[in-house]
Structure 1
Amino acid sequence: MTKQNVTVSDTKTGFNMTISMAVSNSPVFVQKPPAAPGGYISISRKKLLKNLEVNGAQRINSWVDSMRASSPTHIKSTPSSLTEDHSSWMVHHPSALEMFEQIINASKGKQIVMFLDYDGTLSPIVDDPDRAFMSDKMRATVKKLARCFPTAIVSGRCRDKVYSFVKLAELYYAGSHGMDIKGPAKGSKYKKGGQAGILFQPASEFLPMIDEVYKELVEKTKSTPGAKVENNRFCVSVHFRCVEEKKWTDLAQQVRSVLKDYPRLRLSQGRKVLEIRPTIKWDKGKALEFLLESLGYANCTDVFPVYIGDDRTDEDAFKILRDRGQGFGILVSKFPKDTTASYSLQEPSEVMNFLQRLVEWKQLAYRGRTRM
């Protein structure tokens, strides 16, 4: 009889747990978890190995199902049912443009703080993530927005990459799903005291591990045409937008084969992307709260945060706003999605129109005060 380490997987979270058990060709005795000390169950070696194989297959199937759900390649509904579903969804998530006056009325007497996702919000979704450029008109709009309200870009991308796209030094940037936050070097005119700039990186200890996993994933996914691995410094993104759907299972198996050796990393999913992140309790919602606190609005009732995003990872921020009972979340989507956002916009062009209206409203309000 020998002792072997066996990895047991949680199909819901994708986490791995290694347990030590005695294995022989005769019946195997596995000690139960600490909740039931002293108890043993008897299973055969053949059945044990089969169960581990089945659990692995189930996790892969679960990942692929989730990939399809978050990244549909075609619309399954009929045109009539799609219209009906969309109309019903819009009742609960009306257009932020059509409800603009209501949003403004709710913000009166409060400081608006803007939080913006990048891909799919300020720039269109493109096949090559390195070419997700925002338009000059959108950049000019965001620049004007930052003059009127404290503004932050919150993205899954590496902070430096997002900055290279946006190129506006007056903004706050939260890259890698908020695990890399930096404020303007000269501070913000809206900040209530405190030091001029901020730099917050709660997952710094994971940097060597992230680099290691990135290199392994690049090597593993070479055999899958269209797959692209992006190092976002504090997380790794595996893009499958250009991968044929029939190859998604192979890609999921390749990612799993790497992740199984890194229990301190977890998998999450977005639009045509698998995200590998540290297991720390940090996300875009936590980043939103950190930035509000950095600006001096931690426990204030006179703040009105507005978060605009298009991805599943933005739901963490939408939920924070709903739980706080402050401000609103706005989902960017042409199709109905499960969301905790209060309002919706269909595409980046509508986002730009909404931001422009905010700027115009603020400028008119300022002129009105100066004339008094």
Structure 2
Amino acid sequence: MTNQNVVVSDAKSGINMAITVAVSGFSTAAQKPPAVPGTYITISKKKLLQNLDINSGTRINAWVDSMRASSPTHIKSSPHLSDHDHNSWTMHHPSALDMFEQITNASKGKQIVMFLDYDGTLSPIVDDPDRAFMSDQMRATVRKLARYFPTAIVSGRCRDKVYSFVRLAELYYAGSHGMDIKGPSKGSKYKKGAEAVLFQPASEYLPMIDEVYKALLEVTKDTPGAKVENNKFCLSVHFRCVDEKKWSELAKQVGSVLEGYPNLRLTQGRKVLEIRPTIKWDKGKALEFLLESLGYANCTDVFPVYIGDDRTDEDAFKVLRERGQGFGILVSKTPKDTNASYSLQEPSEVMAFLRRLVEWKKLSLRRQFRIRRRLEEMKMSL
């Protein structure tokens, strides 16, 4: 059990009070990230800068190769998988829409809790991250979803930023890859107590993050298309609009800044490099914390469902597999190594799945109501 700083916000007075609470099972001690394939770049700083050099003008370092591998452009242009390989992947990660009945059967008698990534899941991936708007139809769908299930948005974005996109006060929000968590401010029957609780395990890193943000802005200012985003407890360097010939240069720029900050680590998402504190905290830890906050830490009758499209969502998928509860759904048009159990191809399929889930729950409640009414009528007739 470890002590964590939690900020309790009094909605009436607007005053934030910092308190320390004991949180079981969560450690935020700074340490080297675990060696999980495909999740962390574990090259030493010295070796990283050496690897960033281009040999003979054609060979680039493993980091830039990884940047290429994550590029949707390269995914589309890469050789097609054989039908056998594709079918094998689909067999192990079938469509959540096709397997909907099996999924709902597995959840019977349990409380479904929904966890949703934002970019690429609720909204399409776009060139300008500031314009990753969700559709009105998706917002209406998520609003209905939250009426029937506790629902959280878990994103690498700054919590305030993702809230400005979603604009639903009845949800839980976990920004900065789970390092900035806030419960619903109103309208949720699942909310615990009258206060909105903020959980921010990386607060001590804020001055360092701001310092690195300014440094990255400076070193990348002459790289066309590069965009540095301050997500409060982590930073994102978007290279979606950077000419591929400039990727090595951009990688050197980021590496030169990080060389002086051993307490920060580098991870990678879809066309984005992300800098985070070296605390042992990720979207999987955020999922566990939110389940505990909802009172489901050690329950066997909870059924968490996590939907996401990014490498960082794999931490949550892995947690669900290890817990043996619920399942993860990967949003992807192409086969990928994943701990998710099911798949959906794009946000439109995510919306279709969420709508079916809402309709299934409504029918279940109606059925339960009819059964209760019949039982009451039978009692009255005796």
What's the TM-score, normalizing by structure 1? 0.84
Q: Is the 8 A contact 1:322 1:328 kept in 2?
A: yes
| Residue 373 of structure 2 is aligned to residue 344 of structure 1 | no
State how far apart, in whole Å, the 1-side matches of 2:193 and 2:108 are. Answer: 26
Q: Match for 1:331: what amino acid?
A: L
Query: 1:371: how far off?
Result: 1.6
Letter in 2 for 1:303: V
Aligned residue for 2:201, secondary structure, equals coil
Contact 2:49/2:256 (<8 A) preserved: no
Query: 2:292 — aligned with what?
Result: 293
8 Å contact 2:139–2:166 — kept in the other structure? yes
Correspondence for 1:182: 182
Tell me: CA distance 1:184–1:65, structure 2 relative to 1, closer, same or farther (3 Å). Answer: same
Relative to structure 1, the CA distance from residue 225 to residue 83 in structure 2 (aligned partners, 3 Å threshold; closer, same or farther) is farther
Residue 42 of structure 2: aligned partner? 13
What does the per-residue CA deviation read over 1:272-311, in whole Å, with 9 as the maximum and x for residues that have no partner? 0000000000000000000000000000000000000000
Residue by residue over 1:137-172, the C-alpha shift from the partner in whole angstroms, topping out at 9 and shown as x without a partner, is 000000000000000000000000000000000000
| Conserved? CA contact 1:216–1:258, under 8 Å | yes
* 2:80 matches 1:87: no
2:352 aligned with 1:353: yes
Contact 1:186–1:197 (CA under 8 A) maintained in structure 2: no
Deviation at 1:197, TM superposition (A): 2.6
Q: Is the 8 A contact 1:292 1:298 kept in 2?
A: yes
AA paired with 2:257? V
Taking the aligned partners of 1:161 and 1:76, their CA distance within structure 2 comes to 33
Q: Deviations over 1:86-113 (max 9, x none)?
A: 2221011000000000000000000000
2:49 touches 2:255 (CA, 8 Å); kept in 1? no
Match of residue 56, structure 1, among 49, 59, 75: 49
Partner deviation per Cα, 1:52-71 (whole Å, 9 max, x = no partner): 6x663226612112111222
| Distance of 1:346 and 1:140 partners within structure 2 | 20
Q: In the TM superposition, what whole-angstrom CA distance separates every residue of 1:41-60 from its partner, at most 9, and x where no partner exists?
A: xxxxxxxxxxx6x6632266
Query: For residue 65 of structure 1, what is the aligned residue in structure 2?
Result: 65
Shift of the alpha carbon at 1:84?
3.9
CA–CA distance in 1 between the matches of 2:204 and 2:220? 26
Give the aligned partner of residue 321 of structure 2.
322
1:229 counterpart letter in structure 2? V
Question: What letter matches 2:119 in structure 1?
Answer: D
1:168-189: CA deviations, max 9, x gaps?
A: 0000000000000000124842
Counterpart of 1:25? none
Question: Which residue identity does 1:200 align to in structure 2?
Answer: F
Q: CA deviation at 1:12?
A: 4.9
Q: CA deviation at 1:194?
A: 5.3
Q: Kindly tell me: are residues 56 and 279 of structure 1, through their superposed partners in 2, closer, same or farther at Cα, counting changes over 3 Å?
A: same
Task: State whether structure 2 residue 217 is matched by structure 1 residue 218.
Answer: yes
Amino acid at match of 1:164: S
- Could you list the runs of 5+ residues in structure 1 that have no partner in the other structure? 1-9, 17-51
Alignment of 1:1-372 (within 5 A): 12-16=41-45, 56-58=49-51, 61-74=61-74, 75-79=76-80, 81-186=81-186, 188-190=188-190, 196-372=195-371
Higher relative contact order (CA 8 A, sep 6+): 2
What is the alpha-carbon distance in structure 2 between the residues aligned to residue 173 and residue 122 of structure 1?
A: 14
Secondary structure of residue in 1 paired with 2:173: strand
For residues 259 and 299 of structure 1, the distance between their equivalents in structure 2, rounded to whole angstroms, comes to: 39
What percent of counterpart residues are identical? 79
Residues 304, 325 of structure 2: 8 Å contact kept: yes
Say if 1:77 and 1:264 are closer, same or farther in 2 by CA, change over 3 A: closer
The residue aligned with 2:25 is none
What does the per-residue CA deviation read over 1:305-362, in whole Å, with 9 as the maximum and x for residues that have no partner? 0000000000000000000000000000000111000000000000000000000000
Q: Which residue of 1 aligns with 2:14?
A: none
Amino acid at match of 2:236: S
TM superposition shift of 1:85: 3.0
Cα contact 1:228–1:240 (8 A) shared by 2: yes
Q: Distance in 2 between matches of 1:215 and 1:365?
A: 53
- CA apart distance, 1:190: 2.8
Per the TM alignment, residue 77 of structure 1 is displaced from its structure 2 partner at its CA by 4.4
Paired amino acid for 2:256: S
> TM-score if structure 2 supplies the norm length?
0.82
Rounded to whole Å, the distance in 2 between the matches of 1:57 and 1:161 is 36
SS in 2 for 1:173: strand
Deviation for aligned residue 1:198:
1.9
For 2:232, the aligned partner's letter is R
